[in-house]
Structure 1
Amino acid sequence: FHVRKTGALVLAEKDGRTYRISDALSGAVAGTVKKRALRKVTINNRLRSRLKGVLARMDLSDPDASVRLAAVNAMLATLDPGSIDLLEQLRARERDSRVRDALATAIAIGGLRSTDRRTRLAALAALHGNLHPAVRNELTRLIRDEKDQEVRGMARATLASIETRIAWSSLAETLFFGLSAGSVLVLAAIGLAITFGVIGVINMAHGELIMLGAYTTYVLQQLLPHSIGLALLLSVPAAFVVSGAVGIVIEKTVIRFLYGRPLETLLATFGISLVLQQAVRTIFSPLNRSVATPAWMSGMIQVNPVLSLTVNRLTIIAFTALVFAGLYWTMKKSAMGLQVRAVAQNRAMARAMGVRAARVDALTFGLGSGIAGMAGVALSQLTNVGPNLGQSYIIDSFMVVVFGGVGNLWGTLLGGLSLGVANKFMEPWTGAVLAKILILVFIILFIQKRPSGLFPQGGRAEV
């Protein structure tokens, strides 16, 4: 408040019908007055801006680096020659690299507002490639208002360098999202590639096995509500066991009696998918369920002011790499992998050498189903868990398998990642739906030339 007679700035506290006032700066008690003796301070946008600048100056000496960084950013709108001198002094003794860079940016922006031509040119040189949003705004203003041709030309060049870096950052971000989407496709398709490549079964219930893995994650989080991170880690082996066991049961009770009859197998597995969906609806209700993300998978990594990488997608990419490495070792180095490859290449010869083909078929189907369950764990961190979760990925999984090469792990990896990246690069121009249609058309045309995919399986290519 202002005291009307003296104009003094005071703090007022109501005391009955009067107000106790004290000096706003020293806090000294100044007596008691009536309400009409005071006038409320009017705050406008200009005053708010100045107050923010004052508060920011107070925070520049805070021991917390994040507070100092926020203070520097808050001062960018109210820079003046006095502020520049203060920022230069702080920069000389600042130890945190992020705060020091922010101080350098603020000093350079202040230099752009200088009346001295050399100072403006030096500031433009310092801001070359700087991605701070305030820099672009200041350069746009300078290009519009600057009368000196050399300064204006250098400002345009500086802005062009920033736009180039932004374009590269946008490209990197699209590539990152494409790799994360491709990793999900690889997880969803790699189990299908094994079963399809070894026993030649078109498993239309593969999506529902993914769904079972996602629901396993949901159930474990309900059992361990106070240990979300532990529940997610336990969900990986649990989902593998649950989906793998269901897959083995399906193989032993249905698919084993339909080998060599692809149409009947397709219809039977489609019926199984409907049964699994309805079972989940009965047990968990038709509503989608949300799965919490643990703290160590939350947040993002800030690469630069316009590029950030989400931790959950980085984790899924790493998880896909671990699953692929483990599966590759199993298929290439273990006795089971040797038998699986033998049955896939020549079933009759493998049986003649003593390989129990029926047992290999069951274990292979269970392995592929278990990996599908692990894919469900990853998907639970990206989307809601519901009865129709698997339906969104079954067609994409078949596309990846056909494109990469039936039964070939490297083909599945390359096919999934390339389709994911291609889809993300096409979406800004075509939209999500049309991008998938165009990719499907491409795969149809591709398999006309290479029916066996990118990497044909050994022992199956025609000579």
Structure 2
Amino acid sequence: MKTCPPSARRPLCHTLLCALLVWLSLVATPAMALEPGVAEALGDNNFSRRSQAVADIIAATAQGDAEARELLVALSANKVPNARLNNQLRSRISAAAAVLALESPNRAERARAVDALLASPPPPTMIPLVDALVAKEQDSALQERMALLSALIALDADDPALRAQAAERIGATADPRYRPRLLPLAAPDVDPVVRSAAQDALARLDAAERTARQVGTLFAGISLGSVLLLAALGLAITYGLIGVINMAHGEFLMIGAYATFVVQNLFRQYLPGAFDWYLLAAVPVAFVTAALVGVVLERLVIRHLYGRPLETLLTTFGISLLLMQSVRMLFGAQNVEVMNPSWMSGGISVMPGLLLPWNRIVIIGFAIAVVLCAWLVLTRTRLGLFIRAVTQNRTMAACAGVPTNRVDTQAFAFGAGIAGLGGCALAQIGNVGPDLGQTYIIDSFMVVVLGGVGQLAGAVVGAFGLGIVSKIVEPFWGAVLAKIAVLLLIILFIQKRPQGLFALKGRSVEA
């Protein structure tokens, strides 16, 4: 902070007295609204540069004593040049100015003032002014928050009854953020009435925090389940149809994610004004790109390995390595950045201490929409009829005139395209890199085995079941041990029910 020349420097005690009297004069008249510019004058380094604002202060301090008025007049007349405030008085005067901002006719300004004061409550001397403003406030939401501000201020009051009432009011909010403010009031040396009210309030906050944690765990499990569902849905269709253990299925997720990255860059370069909508264009691009790669893979390699599961496993594993290396050559070995559109940023607060991100909510809805589309394709289209027929009895379907080879190609492309949609979704919540698919391939197989081969309902139940169970176990054992525990549970379940939750029906299967 700059200092004044020795010839213009006032005695420190006189300067502090001046600032303190200004502040006290404001507190002594809580119901009086000040003219615009007064709050800025209070926080200015140099009162003399705001002579008009200081004149407004003089006009408003009708209840100030003679000495205060004399000093203010001297300041407004620039007879006391370069009066300065120290940091302590500046913070107290800033708090008074923030409280006075609650009288603003602009609702947005009042809301900002409430936010600032909730983060740093002013001293108890401001309670009368805040209570008066609460009574005058017309907006119900702001009035409730201003009443909470009054309670937070009252926690530091001298009156035990007022402090106990404030603790009860804060406990009713069920907001765990205010727990540190209540802890000192629950100490053994505090007034018994205040201590009892604080302990009851802390108990309510703890109960609300447990509820928020449980709801958050459930949401995290559903979110993970939606991701697993997008990753495993295509695998459930292709594995149930042609019985191929496709270790390259995870790379279709990677292809969908990189397709989303390419569309994002194209929008950023050529359509910057429509960047927020790039994701809508990336969805069909990711599906088509992954589906085309699936067609090429099925036509050139997998078709020649039907009936040889071990060779298929090894071959598709090699193909997965080839695809990962190709992506490294095209885009580099480092992760690439895929940004969320603005409408997927932030979140929604469903209860105190629990914020649900919009990107997770959108992905859950997207997974449900993809399942609905897959169900419509499998149950309401000719392709779906052929897929179900070939899955249940390939020989009989071929005898009935179903082109099984073409159905295999189309089903494999459909499953790969769904995986590409999963990659498009994963790009919004995690890193996009060449190893993206390897993170989800084992989980995808666990979902398929648990739900039942070739069963859409089994994939849905298996994915959400694994996601919820994993998130419930993780806080106790950690992510790695939780995954091991889930794998052991699946092994034990398969011992009792080898066909999974939903057994595939058909003559060839039953035989």
Query: Take 1:134 and 1:420, find their aligned partners in 2: how far apart are those partners?
Result: 29
Residue 32 of structure 1: how far off its partner (Å): 9.8
Change (3 A) 1:119 1:410: same
Query: Could you tell me how far 1:275 is from its partner in structure 2?
Result: 1.7
Q: How does 1:370-449 map to 2 (within 5 A)?
A: 370-449=417-496
2:78 to 4, 21, 30: 30
Aligned partners of 1:216 and 1:238 also within 8 Å: yes
Q: Residue 348 of structure 1: which of 392, 395, 399 is its match?
A: 395
Structure 1 89/122 Cα, relative in aligned 2: closer, same or farther at 3 Å?
Answer: same
Partner SS, residue 309 of structure 1: strand
The verdict on how the C-alpha distance between 1:101 and 1:257 changes in structure 2, with shifts beyond 3 A counting, is same
**Which of 95, 119, 124 is the matching residue for 1:53?**
95
Q: Give, as a single letter, the amino acid of the residue that structure 2 aligns with 1:378.
A: A
1:414 Cα deviation after fit: 1.3
Q: Is the partner of 2:187 in helix, strand or coil?
A: helix
- Give the superposition deviation at 1:73: 4.3
CA distance in 1 between counterparts of 2:491 and 2:166 reads 56
The answer as to whether partners of 1:139 and 1:159 remain within 8 angstroms in 2 is yes
Q: State the one-letter code of the partner of 1:4.
A: R
Matched, 1:42 2:86: yes
- Residues 225-304 of structure 1 mapped to structure 2, 5 A cutoff: 225=268, 226=272, 227-304=274-351
Q: Corresponding residue for 1:457?
A: 504
Q: Output the CA distance in 1 between the equivalents of 2:239 and 2:45.
A: 80
Question: What letter matches 1:343 in structure 2?
Answer: V
- Evaluate the alpha carbon distance shift between residue 51 and residue 456 of structure 1 in structure 2; reply closer, same or farther with a 3 A threshold: farther
Paired position in structure 1 for 2:373 = 326
1:14-413 matches, within 5 Å, as 25-26=54-55, 28=76, 30=78, 41-44=85-88, 47-62=89-104, 65=107, 67-76=109-118, 77-80=120-123, 82-116=125-159, 118-133=161-176, 135-144=178-187, 147-225=190-268, 226=272, 227-413=274-460
- Deviation of the 1:147 alpha carbon: 4.7
Q: Identity rate of aligned residues, in percent?
A: 45
CA distance in 2, matches of 1:59, 1:358: 74
Please list the CA deviations of residues 65-98 of structure 1 after superposition, one character each: whole Å capped at 9, or x if unmatched: 4543442344355445552233233323434444
Residue by residue over 1:234-285, the C-alpha shift from the partner in whole angstroms, topping out at 9 and shown as x without a partner, is 1111111111111111111111111111111111211211221122122222
Per the alignment, do residues 168 and 456 of structure 1 end up closer, same or farther by CA in structure 2, a change over 3 Å counting? same
- 1-side partners of 2:103 and 2:362: how far apart? 37
Q: Which amino acid aligns with 1:196?
A: Y
Any gaps of 5 or more consecutive residues in structure 2? Answer: 20-40, 56-74
Q: Is the partner of 2:440 in helix, strand or coil? A: helix
Question: What letter corresponds to residue 405 of structure 1 in structure 2?
Answer: G
Asked whether the 8 Å contact 1:212–1:243 carries over to 2, the reply is yes
Give the Cα separation in 2 of the matches to 1:186 and 1:270.
Answer: 22
Q: Which amino acid aligns with 1:128?
A: G
CA 224–445 in structure 1, closer or farther in 2 if over 3 Å, else same: same
Find the residue that maps to 1:308 and give its secondary structure: strand
Q: 1:454 to 1:48 in 2, by over 3 A?
A: farther
420-429 or 230-239, larger mean C-alpha shift: 420-429
- The offset of 1:134, in angstroms, is 5.9
Shift of 1:174: 1.7
TM-aligned CA distance change 1:43 to 1:196, over 3 Å: same
Whole-angstrom CA distance in 2 between matches of 1:382 and 1:93: 45
TM-score (structure 1 length as normaliser): 0.89
TM-score after normalising by structure 2: 0.81
User: 2:45, 2:493 → 1: CA distance?
Assistant: 79
Higher helix residue share = 2
Q: Residues 70 and 239 from structure 1, CA distance in 2 versus in 1: closer, same or farther, beyond 3 angstroms?
A: same
Question: 2:58 matched to which residue of 1?
Answer: none
SS in 2 for 1:336: helix
Distance 2:478 2:419 in 1: 28
Q: 2: CA distance between counterparts of 1:151 and 1:287? A: 57
How far 1:373 moved relative to its partner? Answer: 0.5
How far apart, in 1, do the equivalents of 2:45 and 2:103 lie?
A: 30
Structure 1 unaligned blocks of 5 or more:
14-19
- Contact in 1 for aligned 2:134/2:147 (Cα 8 Å): yes
Mapped partners of 1:336, 1:59: distance in 2: 66
Counterpart residue identity of residue 127, structure 2: I
Larger strand proportion of the pair = 1
Secondary structure of the structure 2 residue equivalent to 1:203: coil
CA distance in structure 2 between the partners assigned to 1:407 and 1:66 by the alignment: 55
**Take 1:111 and 1:164, find their aligned partners in 2: how far apart are those partners?**
24
User: Offset at 1:198?
Assistant: 0.9
Aligned to 1:16: none
Q: Distance in 2 between matches of 1:341 and 1:22?
A: 82
Question: Are 1:212 and 1:373, in contact at CA under 8 Å, matched by a contact in 2?
Answer: yes
Bigger radius of gyration among the two: 2
Q: CA deviation at 1:102?
A: 1.5
**What is the letter of the counterpart of residue 500 of structure 2?**
G
2: CA distance between counterparts of 1:81 and 1:251?
A: 75
Amino acid in the other structure paired with 2:321: L
Alpha-carbon distance in 2 for matches of 1:397, 1:92: 59
Q: 1:264 to 1:299 in 2, by over 3 A?
A: same
Kindly tell me: are residues 43 and 79 of structure 1, through their superposed partners in 2, closer, same or farther at Cα, counting changes over 3 Å?
Answer: closer
Q: Is the 8 A contact 1:22 1:30 kept in 2?
A: no
